[in-house]
Structure 1
Amino acid sequence: MTPVIETAYAKLNLALHVRRRREDGYHELETLFAFAKDGDTLSATMADTIRLEVVGPFAAAIAGSNLVLRAAEALAEVAGAGHGAHLVLTKNLPVAAGIGGGSADAAAALRLLARLWGVDPADERIGAIAASLGADVPACLRSETAFGTGKGEALAEVPLDLAGTPALLVNPRVPLSTGPVFAGWDGMDRGPLDPARSLHDGRNDLEPPARALVPEIGAVLDLLGRQPGVTLARMSGSGATCFALFDDAEAMAAAERAMPAGWWTLATTLR
């Protein structure tokens, strides 16, 4: 059987404002989500049970339970008895990197298996599964530019067309867990994010604590910001991946060549 294939699009936080700590342990956020056209790849064929195989350059970083399996098992309950699949996840993106990771993979599994098993993609239960798996999974399920509030799960459309914008993602190959970064936030509310204003008016409030944990982030941002043709350079999510948007693909390609050989890079465009 020919496998069904889905891309787990890399997530970018073009801006991320942390407004307050919540009593439930989460933080109140305002963020502008965007997605690259590239990312991890997930394929599936029908099978008697649900099985997951992980391959690719960052496969070794995936151990134990996986959000893809949790997503598949939850959707199987919606699809009904007897639904299984052999899933192959090609892990192209670094792990613990602020660009979606497991959330994007889980969302891709939901989209992919809905097609494979004949589940209506508009079924509200798919969205409920996404929300149960993590704060970023609903945005990754849509994989389109959106304004996120709450934990990031409350999504609204934005009047912003970034499709085709050249984007360079850069990671110094240092994993950075989300928890310690949020724990290092200083608790200061620096004001709301207005998605209708220029991207330059935004910021990433998690950058200072992330840089304190991984100083290489500063080097990445400094180098990206000096590249000809760059229109915006910022850290994504809780790091350590940073990104730069460019005027054109030639400027982006030149910037990628200027990055040190030891850093991970992805030259792509926004969806």
Structure 2
Amino acid sequence: MTTADVAKAFAPAKINLALHVTGQRADGYHLLESLVAFANVGDQLTARLATSPSLRVQGPLAAGVPTGPENLVLKAAAWAGHGASFELEKNLPAAAGIGGGSSDAAAALRALEALTGQPCDTARLAELGADVPVCYFGRACLMRGVGEQVEAAALPPVAAVLANPRVEVATPRVFGQLTRKDNGPLPPLPELGDVDGLVAYLADKTRNDLETPALALAPVIGEVLDRLWALDGARLARMSGSGATCFALFDDFGAADRAAATLQAQRPDWWVSAVWLS
């Protein structure tokens, strides 16, 4: 929704259905291949052009979110060369492996484009972070390199349960725990006409190379995965990104919604959401 002086943008949760670490460059950046989908839950951003940049954060998960220039929303605005005031409704947990900050940055760039009519330089988006290009793309895709290579992927819509134990996991520490950094690439993506095909591809041919090192840093991820696997109707459970958010896939949203209610009753202290991924 856009008016002459206000723009609103949605910042959806990014889910790495598969994530392979295939190498490391001389400058230290890791090379990745990932199949990514986006959920219909996320943060909400409101932007207005302003002389002095500012950010106000509210919402159920606003606690602890920085409002200074270190926040990726303000970094994105400065990178794009625009002054703006932002209001961010924070609904996603931080440092959770679902691209919250990067998705917020991408939403800020989309909002600024709507306000100014000036497109951002998409070829340089990875300068803001490895997940910003894929979050700017905002729909199912394959992500490669250090995040700068993004191409559309045809995935069937799939219902899922997302669960985060409210434990932050620092991405650099997870990468630092990797014992091998030259793992095999993602196999070619076949035509996936339904959930059965997607689950078979993910289970038989893919993995998340960051899951083991993340488990070493945050053993509670193991409980999250065990509880997701135990939910009625769960087809596949896996960690997203560098954690600690994990997901389970289901045949339909009704099954996912019931499973999410079950898990939330078991662990009322966790962040749990039934979602559509696409």
- What is the TM-score with the length of structure 2 in the denominator? 0.88
The one of 18, 25, 30 equivalent to 1:27 is 30
- What is the CA-CA distance between 1:38 and the residue it aligns to? 1.6
Counterpart in the other structure of 1:132: 127
1:188–1:24: structure 2 CA closer, same or farther, 3 Å change rule? closer
Give secondary structure in 1 for the equivalent of 2:161.
strand
Structure-2 separation of matches of 1:146 and 1:187: 25
1:91 Cα deviation after fit: 1.1
Q: Partner of 1:37 in structure 2?
A: 40
Question: Is the partner of 1:6 in helix, strand or coil?
Answer: strand
Q: Match of 2:111?
A: 112
Q: Aligned with 2:228: secondary structure?
A: helix
Does 2:66 align with 1:73? no
Query: What CA deviation, in whole Å up to 9, does each residue of 1:113-165 have, x standing for no partner?
Result: 1001122xxx4x4314522101110000001111111113211222x2233x2
- Aligned equivalents of 1:128, 1:87: Cα separation in 2: 24
**Alpha-carbon distance in 2 for matches of 1:100, 1:68:** 13
Q: Contact (CA 8 Å) 2:21, 2:30: kept in 1 or not?
A: yes
Distance 1:144 1:210 in 2: 26
Q: Secondary structure at the match of 2:63?
A: helix
How many residues align? The count is 259
Cα shift at 1:40: 0.8
Does the CA-based 8 Å contact 1:71-1:129 persist in structure 2? no
Supply the AA of the counterpart residue of 1:167: A
Gap change, CA 1:38 and 1:126, over 3 Å in 2: farther
Which residue does 1:147 correspond to in 2?
Answer: 142
SS state of the match for residue 272, structure 2? strand
For structure 1, list consecutive stretches of 5 or more residues without a partner in the other structure: 78-82
Answering whether residue 274 of structure 2 is matched by residue 267 of structure 1, we say: yes
Larger mean Cα displacement after TM superposition, 1-10 or 244-253: 1-10
Equivalence for 2:249: 245
Map 1:72-221 to 2 at 5 A.
72-75=77-80, 77=81, 84-119=83-118, 123=119, 125-158=120-153, 160-163=154-157, 165-187=158-180, 189-197=182-190, 198-200=201-203, 201-221=205-225
Q: How far apart are 1:195 and its partner, in Å?
A: 4.3
What SS does the aligned partner of 1:61 have?
coil
Q: Distance in 1 between matches of 2:14 and 2:112?
A: 21
- Per-residue CA deviation, residues 32-53 of structure 1 (Å, 9 max, x unaligned), is 1111122111012343332211
| CA deviation profile, 1:207-242 (whole Å, cap 9, x unmatched) | 011011111101111111122222221100000000
Aligned-pair CA distance for 1:15: 0.3
Is residue 126–residue 146 contact of structure 2 (8 Å, CA) maintained in 1? no
- Once the two structures are superposed, residues 27-73 of structure 1 have per-residue CA deviations (whole angstroms, 9 ceiling, x without a partner) of 11111111112211101234333221111122222224211101112
Q: Distance in 2 between matches of 1:43 and 1:188?
A: 39
State the identity as a percent.
51
Question: Is the contact between residue 49 and residue 84 of structure 1 (CA under 8 Å) also seen in structure 2?
Answer: yes
Deviation at 1:188, TM superposition (A): 5.5
User: Structure 1 stretch 216-225 or stretch 44-53: which is displaced more?
Assistant: 44-53
